Structure formats: C-alpha cells, structure tokens
Amino acid sequence: MEWAPGDRSNIEDRRGIGGSGIRGVHVGLGGFVMLLIVGWLTGVNPLTLLNSGDSSPDQGAGYSGAPNSAAPINSSPGEERNVDFVDTVANDVQDTWASVLGGRYQRTRVVLFRDAIDSACGMAQSATGPFYCPLDEKVYLDLGFFDELSQQFGSPGDFAKAYVIAHEFGHHVQHLTGLDAGSGTGGAGATGPGSLSVALELQADCFAGVWGHAASLHQSVTAGHVVVQPGDEAQALNAAAAIGDDRLQRQATGRVMPEKFTHGTSAQRVAAFRRGMESGDPAVCGR
C-alpha cells in the first residue's frame, strides 16, 4: 500500500488531553476485542461494560468536546507517521464516499486520544478500541490500537490499519443515510447472529471493502491519498478474521456463545469485506 501524507485536516488531535471512565459508548471495530480480553483477565463479564450507562442527554450533535490541546505532545517518529497515515486514509475514504453519496455526505474528523476521552457519547477508554459516536459524528481512535492489532491479533500491515479506519467511517455513512435506524432505540443493544448490532457491523465491513475497491483503482499516489497494491487485501481479510466473535470468544473463554455475538463470525466478516472489495458497490452491502 502506497500513500502520501496530507495536511492533517481530517484529524482532531486530543492526545494531550486525558480523561477517565467508560460510559455510553458505541463499541466499534476493536471495542469488543479489548473488552473480551479485559473480561477474561479480570473475571468481569465484558457485556456488562458494553451497557455501563447512557449518553448525557444534553450533548447533542453540536457537542464539540474538548478543544485540541495546546500543550506539547510527547510523540515518536513512528507515532507521527501513524497520525499522517490516519489522516491520509480518512481523507481518501471520505473522498470516496463524497463521490458515491454526493451532497448527502458530510465530512468529519478522526479524534486521536490516549488512554481515555470525553466524547459526546460519554467517557471512553482505550480498551473500547476505535469507535464512531453518532452524537458528534466523529471517529475516535487511540493509536495504540494499531500495536494491539499487529502484536496481539497477528494482523500487521498498513492495509489492516486502513480497514479499521474505513470500517468506522462505514458507521458514519450508515448514520448519514439513516441505515442505522433503530440503533438508538435499544435494537443495537441486543446480541446474537440475527441482531441489529451484527447486521450493522457486517455492513460497515462491507463499506470498508467498497472504499478498498475504489482505492485499488488509483493509478498514482497524490497528497492525502492511497494506492492499494496486490497483496494488500489479504491484510484486511486477516484482520477481519482475527476479530470475528467466534474466534475471540474461543480465545477468551474456550467456547463459542452465538447468543452473545455483536460483530459477526470471522467467516462473516471476511465475506462482508470481500463482497465490498470485489464489487465496489454499496448496494451489495445490504443490512
């Protein structure tokens, strides 16, 4: 995968701002991954952490959260590369959806944080993984998740990371187009193979593939854009397989509990991403 840094206009950098607690968060691509591990190590049922409170009622779509930190941020060259990478992928993903949806698409930003963050959906910790908050329409990401993805889940590579980002923007597309209807009325709180939660997560995987298809058509790298190369797709498929509900449950507890599924099986996640990647057509993503 080739890419060229942009201007970081797709980033809201809050790495210098701390917080604590976890409440009312939409758990995104990596959230259930981290919560399963936390639950396994501590003996706490991770599903109780998924329902640990509600969003504050007075924080609506206009909520902007804390401003960017003016304090110096201790960072490494590797971390700054990841900041540029997230900005570039976010820009490319958003250009794709702006082309697909036209005026219906509204650009947003990825909020980078460390350890914990106060979003319009409540307080969230890094353990929840990347997530999308529909109340402020932003994607939240602790860059440390990329290390977890590579080291703990055996899914290295830039395109594996790009899949994570594109998946969360898939939730933004769902929100803008009303495809997430019912997720705010308790429907997304249900679990199991036929739950709304699983349907939305698999659709977001498919939407990530739609972006991957568009990126694979790029002929040359320009600032703020990527070019997908042969072999890159395997990285995303490996990541999708690594975080299927069945595989994570088996690793954490030694057994599979379909009634607790929230994101879909490894096979389902792989199939959903591949469907979008091969077709490039959002219409095949269903719900």
In the numeric block, the tokens 């607690």 are attached to 21
Model confidence, pTM: 0.82
DSSP class of residue 68 equals P
Quick check: helix, strand or coil at residue 192? coil
Judging by DSSP bridges, how do beta strands 138-141 and 116-119 pair with one another? unpaired
Closest CA to 113 of 99, 122, 125: 125
d(CA 205, CA 197): 12
List, in order, residues 6 or more apart from 285 with CB less than 8 Å away: 203, 206, 207, 210, 272, 275, 276
Query: pLDDT tens string for the chain (287 positions)?
Result: 999 999 999 999 999 875 543 333 444 555 555 555 544 433 444 444 444 333 333 333 333 344 444 456 889 999 999 999 999 999 999 999 999 999 999 999 999 999 999 999 998 888 888 999 999 999 999 999 999 999 988 999 999 999 999 999 999 999 999 998 877 555 556 888 889 999 999 999 999 999 999 999 999 999 999 999 989 999 999 999 998 999 889 988 999 999 999 999 999 999 999 999 999 999 999 86
CB 11 within 8 A of CB 107: no
pLDDT score recorded for residue 97: 98
Structure tokens at 126: 């890094």
End-to-end distance of the chain based on CA atoms, in angstroms? Answer: 29
* Secondary structure (3-state) at 101: helix
Single out the residue of 125, 94, 120, 116 nearest to residue 107, CA to CA: 94
